[in-house]
Amino acid sequence: MLAARGRGTGTLRLGLFSRISSGLEDGRPPEALRRHAAARRLELLDSFEVAGLGCFWATDESGRVSYLTETAVRRLGCEPEELLGCQLTEIFSSPGSDAEESPERPLSFLLGARNTISGLAVRVAGARRETWWEISGKPLYDAKERFTGYRGSAKDITLIRERQREAEALARCDSLTGLANRHHMEGHLARTLDAYRSAKRSCALMMMDLDRFKQVNDTLGHPAGDQLLKQVAARLGTVVARRGTIGRLGGDEFLILLPDIDDRGELGELAQRIIQMVSQPYSIDGARAIIGASVGIATAPYDGLDAEALTSAADLALYAAKGGGRGQFRFFASDLKDGAHMRRRIEEDLRDALANDQLEMHYQPIVASADNRATCMEALLRWHHPERGFVTPSIFVPVAEELGLIREIGAFVLQRSCEDALEWPIPLRVAVNVSAAQFARDDFPGQVAAILKCTGLDPARLELEITESVFVGDSDRTQRIFEELKSLGVRLALDDFGTGYSSLSYLQRAPFDKIKIDRSFVRGATDAGNNNPEILSAIVNLAEALKMETVAEGVETLDELKLVKERGASHVQGYIFSAALTQDAAIARLATEPVEFVARGPARFRAERRTLFRQIGVIHNDYRYKAVLRNLSKSGALIEGLLGVPAGTELVLDLGGGQLAVCTVRRSRQSTLGVEFETPLVSDGADGLCTRHRVSPYAIEAAGRPLTPLPMDAYALLGGNPVSKPSFVEVATRDTARADPSTGYEYRYR
């Protein structure tokens, strides 16, 4: 092989030498040979151009195109005369400093500096479709070192660039949903925050997590879970549209970046729409799936300046939303860090709660509308923590679900409720809530049968309250469990009807004895223009047609009680008759004649007003007073601690954390003021209220302070000492000592 290659090489060299020698023997001078070689070179270059392997271009000293390969021009759909004489920058444009395209210098800069151009990607202007070339060129100078223009080459890289873009898109996108993936979202968020910090702009970050997604995976399988995630992504795209960028972090977690939004009213409305849209039922291969969603919200620069801090803030807000009962949104607040620490403590302590007998049952009566006599007692779980006192179910039940303790706790609730019901002086029914995780077990009917046998409770006295979430998954299997439960003789109730995108097919097949109308249709139903009364009538009429009882939940006022009775609800439950009673209190009450419950409560429904004691600042002119905030609603508040403030005075309430609320004094009596807000407060997602806007950290920076997320006492950083003298007198009230300025809150509930 080597010998053959050697002979071949020698033959090639010999042939070339022979051709040159013969030219000399023919008498052709070296000049003729050079012309001959030049002609050959032109032929080769022409063949190169015609074959489409590349093209050539040239400009004069003014940057006008003097030559461009004709075949390449025609492939672009142009005629040569259309391009000759044009500036090169009119034909080609480069991305330049656009970070998304290329970090290279733009073509205009290179030409102006007369730099060598090497492999620069440029877009061809005027092409019928997007076309990209890669050009190279060198500046030319004459013998006197005068610039005479550029000579260069080019090749079409459109297909190469498209493949690169596809590969980059795959690297940026989540392969399942087509949304941006974690890596791309992290980079995009970091770049956005850097740019916005320089431009003094704000942006919001929403972190969303699906509720009950694991149940879909467990009951329908992982392929069904993947299909569900695709549908969730599509719904998010519909709600968010072009307002922001949506990404999937992995699993069932999503991230939404919303530029130039810091209005918490707008953000809360968007979060609520997302939750509602995502929570609607899904159809997956003929099966029906119902999930929920929780959303945490943080805004820059208020809650964090960089990507890590803002993501951490949104994550804490999401953690609080899930801990507050799920299906909710939360705004980040600095005290959420304490809440996260408390939640971790709850996780640790909950494992010991059952063993240490810290869980106990309370019972709330459900009374008949006709005679106000109790027909049933709903079992409500309470956790009496040795250090924290009573921990509400909205806090510990989600934790129990995450830890996998909910089935064990559910069995305890069922057992204890049946045992307690046997001790009541009269044989009322006992209603027990059943979690979706508990119901999903194939052995659940057997567990119910075993507890009934063990306790000896008449099955007709046990009523199982079930929410729509049990219908996720195999509908035939769900129906079979219903039938097995009914065969035991127990009663079934559909709880929270109307809040879970109810399907009439549930009522068509499931053998319910009772429908419980959610409290959201009762609250505010007596307000003028409210549609809830008609909804109440529709639900009652439907239940009566199906021979089912109805329970109006959450009735607290006399006007609400009158309304639900007029609309035909067969039963009523709520504080209007009784709060939940301990077992001892329930025995004592049921043993007292008469057992009729008397309606006691406010005459009329009022817009929700929280009773609290919280130290706030009250600003008049430039002077800041200390006062105590008592009642708070969206439209106004009650303040104590200032004397001599006439009605009509305009004030600014410093609610902390950069929240300033402009208000007008409407009532003034001694040291108590009733104020009306200029702009109504909005929901903070945690059964509380907050201002739409806050003091901007950029404004604090402009006042000479370093740029940081908002501290609790943000107002103090804006100004110096007051110039004006105080117009009013600060006085201590009986509640001043109760308002802790560090935590700021003491709540009283009815």
pLDDT tens digits along 569-583? 999 999 999 999 999
**Based on the domain organization, do 642 and 514 belong to the same domain?**
no
Contact call for residues 67 and 58 (beta carbons, < 8 A): yes
Structure tokens that stand for 219 in this block: 């009951």
* Residue 239 belongs to some domain of the structure: yes
Measured distance CA(29)–CA(17) in Å, rounded: 16
* Residue 308 belongs to some domain of the structure: yes
**Based on the domain organization, do 430 and 552 belong to the same domain?**
yes
Among 137, 162, 187, where does a domain finish?
162
**Based on the domain organization, do 622 and 709 belong to the same domain?**
yes
- Classify each residue of 136-174 as buried b or exposed e, where b means 16 or more C-beta atoms within 10 Å of its C-beta: bbebeeeeeeeeebbbbbbebbeeebeeeeeeeeeebbb
- Residue among 605, 634, 631, 601 at smallest CA distance from 747: 631
CATH code of the domain covering residue 638:
2.40.10
**Based on the domain organization, do 320 and 400 belong to the same domain?**
no
Is 739's pLDDT higher than 60?
no
CATH code of the domain covering residue 208:
3.30.70.270
pLDDT of residue 513: 93
Using CA atoms, how far residue 144 sits from 138, 140, 141, in Å, is 17, 11, 8
Measured distance CA(425)–CA(418) in Å, rounded: 14
* Residue 571 belongs to some domain of the structure: yes
* Residue 18 belongs to some domain of the structure: no
Q: 3-state DSSP call for residue 638? A: strand
Calculate what percentage of the chain has a pLDDT beyond 90.
Answer: 46
Q: Is the whole-model pTM more than 0.85?
A: no
Question: Residue with structure tokens 């059964």?
Answer: 687
Is 96's pLDDT higher than 70?
no
**Based on the domain organization, do 712 and 688 belong to the same domain?**
yes
Is 15's pLDDT higher than 50?
no
**Based on the domain organization, do 499 and 647 belong to the same domain?**
no
Contact call for residues 724 and 621 (beta carbons, < 8 A): yes
Is 743's pLDDT higher than 70?
no
Average pLDDT on 340-360 reads 79
What's the number of domains the chain is made of? 4
Contact call for residues 686 and 319 (beta carbons, < 8 A): no
Measured distance CA(614)–CA(712) in Å, rounded: 14
**Based on the domain organization, do 156 and 180 belong to the same domain?**
no
The DSSP code for 239 is: H
Please tell me the least confidently modeled range out of 217-226, 435-444, 717-726: 717-726
Please tell me the least confidently modeled range out of 548-552, 652-656, 725-729: 725-729
pLDDT of residue 635: 93
* Residue 412 belongs to some domain of the structure: yes
Contact call for residues 673 and 629 (beta carbons, < 8 A): no
- The CB-based long-range contact list for 679-685 (8 Å cut-off, 24+ gap) reads 680/634, 680/635, 681/632, 681/633, 681/634, 681/635, 682/264, 682/265, 682/268, 682/634, 683/268, 684/264, 684/268, 684/330, 684/331, 684/333, 685/268, 685/271, 685/297, 685/321, 685/328, 685/329, 685/330, 685/331
Instruction: Please write the tens of the pLDDT for every residue from 288-328.
Output: 888 889 999 999 999 999 999 999 999 999 988 887 767 89
The DSSP code for 598 is: P
* Residue 300 belongs to some domain of the structure: yes
- Residue among 343, 336, 340, 339 at smallest CA distance from 712: 336
- Phi and psi for 43 in degrees, rounded to 5? -65, -45
- Residue among 721, 728, 718, 701 at smallest CA distance from 654: 718
Please tell me the least confidently modeled range out of 261-270, 529-538, 550-559: 529-538
- Tell me the torsion sign for CA atoms 216, 221, 225, 228: negative
Average pLDDT on 28-47 reads 65
The CB-side HSE value for 230 (13 A sphere, CA atoms) comes to 11
pLDDT of residue 41: 63
* Residue 112 belongs to some domain of the structure: yes
Among 109, 129, 162, where does a domain finish?
162
pLDDT of residue 394: 73
CATH code of the domain covering residue 495:
3.20.20.450
The amino acid at 633: S
Instruction: Please write the tens of the pLDDT for every residue from 631-677.
Output: 889 999 999 999 999 999 999 999 988 999 999 999 999 999 999 99
Per-residue pLDDT band for 13 (boundaries 50, 70, 90) equals very low
Q: What is the pairing mode between strands 147-156 and 245-250? A: unpaired
**Based on the domain organization, do 303 and 444 belong to the same domain?**
no
Q: What is the pairing mode between strands 55-59 and 65-68? A: antiparallel
Give strand ranges (E) for 633-750.
Answer: 636-640, 642-643, 650-656, 659-669, 672-677, 682-683, 689-690, 729-730, 747-748
**In terms of pLDDT, which residue wins out, 536 or 125?**
536
Average pLDDT on 407-412 reads 88
Average pLDDT on 221-244 reads 93
Element (H, E) at 614: strand 610-620
pLDDT of residue 674: 94
| CA 137, chain centre distance (Å) | 51
* Residue 41 belongs to some domain of the structure: no
Instruction: Please write the tens of the pLDDT for every residue from 178-209.
Output: 999 999 999 999 999 999 999 999 999 999 99
- The CB-based long-range contact list for 97-104 (8 Å cut-off, 24+ gap) reads 99/191
pLDDT of residue 605: 64
Is 587's pLDDT higher than 80?
yes
**Based on the domain organization, do 454 and 397 belong to the same domain?**
yes
**Based on the domain organization, do 475 and 566 belong to the same domain?**
yes
> In this structure, how many other beta carbons lie within 10 angstroms of the beta carbon of residue 346?
20
Calculate what percentage of the chain has a pLDDT beyond 70.
Answer: 84
Instruction: Please write the tens of the pLDDT for every residue from 126-181.
Output: 677 788 889 999 999 998 999 999 999 888 888 888 888 777 766 778 889 999 99
Instruction: Please write the tens of the pLDDT for every residue from 441-485.
Output: 888 999 999 999 999 999 999 999 988 777 765 677 788 899 999
692 is in which domain, residue-wise? Answer: 610-748
Among 590, 621, 643, where does a domain finish?
590
**Based on the domain organization, do 288 and 377 belong to the same domain?**
no
Using CA atoms, how far residue 97 sits from 171, 627, 674, 720, in Å, is 22, 55, 58, 44
Measured distance CA(326)–CA(400) in Å, rounded: 13
pLDDT of residue 473: 59
Is 612's pLDDT higher than 60?
no
Please tell me the least confidently modeled range out of 11-20, 324-333, 338-347: 11-20
**What count of residues does the chain have?**
750
- Phi and psi for 304 in degrees, rounded to 5? 180, 150
**Based on the domain organization, do 489 and 634 belong to the same domain?**
no
